[in-house]
Amino acid sequence: MDPLLQQALRAREIAHAPFSKFKVGAALEDTDGGVHTGCNVENATYGLTVCAERVAVFKAISEGARKFRRMAIAADTDVLTPPCGACRQILWEFCGDVELTLVNPRGKTEMFRLKDLFPRPFDASFL
Ligand code: THU
């Protein structure tokens, strides 16, 4: 299996999801080949929960990475789990029309471009 997908699946295993029990992992590859992983981190107030995708993006940005090639997103669902709306906005902001591969632990995969999941985005070009 593609190592980026394996890293997303591994990140999923260490997700902090005691409330929903819905574990998600993400792995973001930068243009230097570096990989930044993330898992969902839930909070007792629920609303402060951060999704795996945003954890991966913010980790990458905070480590100095600025250009990205692709992201893998792992969850244990048969209909593969896509990024939520908030994550699509953040992915657009930092990664542009990035390639997204969804994967589950049984090896099912599906690939998308972000622009197909997030048409007509609001971004800095409007400001
Ligand atoms: N979640 C993610 O981490 N990424 C997604 O793409 C969908 C949802 C998390 C948030 C929350 O911890 C749990 O999954 C259930 O919504």
Query: Could you tell me the distance, in angstroms and rounded to a whole number, from the CA of residue 92 to the centre of ligand 1?
Result: 18
Find the mean pLDDT for residues 90-109.
98
Q: Which of 13, 29, 53, 99 is catalytic?
A: 53
Say what percent of the chain tops pLDDT 70. 100
For residue 103, the CA-to-ligand 1 centroid distance in Å is 14
* Calculated CA dihedral for residues 23, 29, 34, 35, nearest 10 degrees: 10
Contact 18, 49 (CB under 8 A): no
For 50-80, write each residue's pLDDT tens digit: 999 999 999 999 999 999 999 999 999 999 9
For residue 97, what pLDDT band results from cuts at 50, 70 and 90?
very high
Spatial contact of 17 and 74, defined as CB atoms under 8 Å apart: no
HEC string for 81-103:
CCCCHHHHHHHHHHHCCCEEEEE
Q: Residue of the nearest CA to atom 5 in ligand 1?
A: 83
Point out the ligand 1 atom lying closest to the alpha carbon of residue 23.
14
Burial of 75 (0-12, 13-18, 19+ CB in 10 A): buried
- Answer whether 17 contacts ligand 1 (Cβ < 6 A): yes
84 phi and psi, to 5 degrees? -70, 170
Q: Is 19 in the pocket of ligand 1 (CB under 6 A)?
A: no
Work out the angle at residue 41's Cα, subtended by the Cα atoms of residues 120 and 12, and round it to the nearest 5 degrees: 85
110 is catalytic: no
Residue-wise pLDDT for 10-49, tens only, equals 999 999 999 999 999 999 999 999 999 999 999 999 999 9
Give the pLDDT confidence score for residue 76 in this predicted structure.
Answer: 98
